[in-house]
Amino acid sequence: MSEIKRYCGECCKEKTGGYCNLCKKDTKNKYSVACVDVVKTFDSISGKQKRPGVRGFLRKFFSGYQASVDKSRYPDGVNKQQNIDRENDWYDERVVDNKNGEINECHEKLSDHIGHGSAKK
């Protein structure tokens, strides 16, 4: 988006046409152009903790922005904090909708956390 303003070449006041109301004569024009763009950036971090001799991960975490597959439900994506701790059998997840601020939370034992995500029938 850009905005162009015209100023008087002598008194530097803003004017609408070639005639300056303050100087009471036709003066040269000075122009000011302002360009404004908006860029949204998002970040996230994830990681896994592993131990030799143990199959898979002990702990997995994710924190930050996640784009949604269901654009009709979450058009602006979500902010998600997820912690999966297999060693202590615990699952934590907090999802905040970026559009309206709606919060969904899940804190339960990992062994009880079935039938969610890709495990739904």
User: What residues are paired with 102 via a beta bridge?
Assistant: none
Both 50 and 17 in one domain: the answer is no
Q: Of 36, 82, 27, nearest to 59 (Cα)?
A: 82
Instruction: Answer whether 19's CB lies under 8 Å from 9's CB.
Output: no
Six-digit token string for 18:
């070639």
Both 79 and 110 in one domain: the answer is yes
Higher pLDDT, 4 or 82: 82
Both 20 and 51 in one domain: the answer is no
d(CA 15, CA 38): 28
Both 18 and 73 in one domain: the answer is no
Instruction: Answer whether 62's CB lies under 8 Å from 46's CB.
Output: yes
The whole-number pLDDT of residue 33 equals 83
Instruction: Give the total number of structural domains in the chain.
Output: 2
Both 107 and 48 in one domain: the answer is yes
Both 95 and 76 in one domain: the answer is yes
Both 66 and 16 in one domain: the answer is no
Sort 39 into a burial class: Cβ within 10 Å, 0-12 / 13-18 / 19+.
Answer: exposed
Both 31 and 63 in one domain: the answer is no
Both 30 and 54 in one domain: the answer is no
Both 27 and 79 in one domain: the answer is no
Both 18 and 60 in one domain: the answer is no
- Owning domain of residue 22: 2-35
Per-residue model confidence as pLDDT tens digits over 39-67: 888 899 999 999 999 899 999 999 999 99
d(CA 111, CA 90): 8
Both 63 and 115 in one domain: the answer is yes
Q: Is the pTM of this model over 0.85?
A: no
The whole-number pLDDT of residue 2 equals 72
Placement of tokens 């934590």 in the chain: 92
